[in-house]
Chains A and B, each alone.
Chain A
Amino acid sequence: DAKTTQPPSMDCAEGRAANLPCNHSTISGNEYVYWYRQIHSQGPQYIIHGLKNNETNEMASLIITEDRKSSTLILPHATLRDTAVYYCIVKAAGGTSYGKLTFGQGTILTVHP
């Protein structure tokens, strides 16, 4: 699995967009980018994933650069409840590493009033 690099922490004002970057310069052509978040003392929550096209759902948008070496998770209007640790994970679908998510340290996002 490709290694990912995320900033350890970020701040954001409530109501503003939160842009969380992730570098994955060694990503392979069949590897997807997944984002999860974990609010304190809770289980992680799946947010979004993508291969090469930008993706949007009710929670967030995922922007993947054309060379796929980096991506940005965008929370368009951050609220205090978005304060959490955000994990960027790169995985190839299927294969021998079936379902084995590897969570790194992630980015601690703090949303301020």
Chain B
Amino acid sequence: DGGITQSPKYLFRKEGQNVTLSCEQNLNHDAMYWYRQDPGQGLRLIYYSQIVNDFQKGDIAEGYSVSREKKESFPLTVTSAQKNPTAFYLCASSNPGQSSYEQYFGPGTRLTVT
């Protein structure tokens, strides 16, 4: 089955710790994205990558970092600098160009920091 996997589904961390969220896709898509969703709110873009070894900041990149060493993988690190990290994190992928807005999403990781 082609798709996007995110692990784990639930993640708990203590304040002050960095945590890395996994995102893997086997859709052969060039572009990948990370979004954050807070309760009752829409999604906000954190980072995106159009191609391997390249990525761009989204609207709320502060306190986050990413890497794109392989086409299939786009891990997101939530650093201790992120002031309010508890949220639902969603990874997506797409083909470039006109299809860039037809994004396929993973099941999400719910991060709780206490």
Residues of chain A at the chain B interface (Cβ within 8 Å): 32, 34, 41-46, 49, 87, 89, 91, 93-94, 98-106
Given contacts A45-B105, A93-B101, contact A101 B31 (CB under 8 A): no
Residues of B near A43 (CB, < 8 A) are 4, 90-92, 105-108
Q: Could you give, for residues 7-31 of chain B, a 1 whenever the CB lies within 8 Å of some chain A CB and a 0 otherwise? A: 0000000000000000000000001
B43-91 interface (Cβ within 8 A of A): 43-45, 48, 50, 58-59, 88, 90-91
Interface range for B: 20 to 34
**Given pairs A46-B103, A91-B101, A99-B103, 10 additional interface contacts (CB within 8 A):** A43-B105, A44-B92, A46-B104, A93-B100, A98-B48, A99-B48, A99-B50, A100-B58, A101-B45, A103-B35
Instruction: State whether A106 touches B33 (Cβ < 8 A).
Output: no
Residues of B near A98 (CB, < 8 A) are 31, 48, 50, 96, 100
Which residue on chain A has the smallest CB distance to residue B95?
A99
Instruction: State whether A100 touches B92 (Cβ < 8 A).
Output: no
B60 nearest CB across to chain A (Å): 12
Residues of chain B at the chain A interface (Cβ within 8 Å): 4, 31, 33, 35, 41-45, 48, 50, 58-59, 88, 90-92, 94, 96-98, 100-108, 110
Which residue on chain B has the smallest CB distance to residue A48?
B102
Instruction: State whether A32 touches B101 (Cβ < 8 A).
Output: yes
Which residue on chain B has the smallest CB distance to residue A43?
B105
Which residue on chain B has the smallest CB distance to residue A47?
B102
Which residue on chain A has the smallest CB distance to residue B105?
A43
Which residue on chain B has the smallest CB distance to residue A42?
B107
Instruction: State whether B98 touches A99 (Cβ < 8 A).
Output: no
CA–CA, A22 to B90, complex, Å?
Answer: 25
Contacting residue for A99 out of B33, B41, B88, CB 8 A: B33
The 4 closest A-B pairs by CB, nearest first: A43-B105, A103-B42, A99-B100, A103-B43
B75 nearest CB across to chain A (Å): 17
Residues of B near A44 (CB, < 8 A) are 43, 90, 92, 103, 105
Contacting residue for B42 out of A42, A91, A106, CB 8 A: A106
Instruction: State whether A94 touches B97 (Cβ < 8 A).
Output: yes
